Amino acid sequence: MRIEQPKDYREVEDLTQEGQLPQFCQSCGMPLIKNEDCGTNADGSINFDYCQYCYKEGKFLQNCTMEEMIEHCAQFIDEVNKQMPKPMTKEEYKQMMQGFFPMLKRWSSESHQSLLKDDRVATE
């Protein structure tokens, strides 16, 4: 389920409504609950598809493969476990991400190929 983008994002603090699941970053899977969690487009507007850690000013902040992103995200297992009813091991978390990430926009085969061609990764 996708959250509709608000017309004026500055008036919206919480991107979810009661009983609604959060949107997830389409690169790392982080929940996007507040505007501050979201990345930014080239024009400075909020990008509701990606988090602030993955996407800034219209560009990805990391040039990595899906597998490298999974390894990167796995280091945050302690933070993830704070939100889980039953803690996961790092290996269980990596296995879960391996099943989930291919469904994310950045890593779906069609999107991933076009992003590689576009070279829309920040080179800082």
pTM value is 0.72
Checking DSSP bridges between strand 55-56 and strand 59-60, what pairing results, if any? antiparallel
- 45: alpha, beta or left, given left = phi > 0 and alpha = psi -120 to 50? beta
Q: Is the pLDDT score of 86 beyond 80?
A: yes
For 17-72, write each residue's pLDDT tens digit. 555 556 999 999 999 999 999 999 999 999 999 999 999 999 999 999 999 999 99
> 90 Cβ partners below 8 Å, 6+ apart?
74, 77
Residue 19, classed as helix, strand or coil, is: coil
- Distance of alpha carbon 59 from alpha carbon 42, whole angstroms: 8
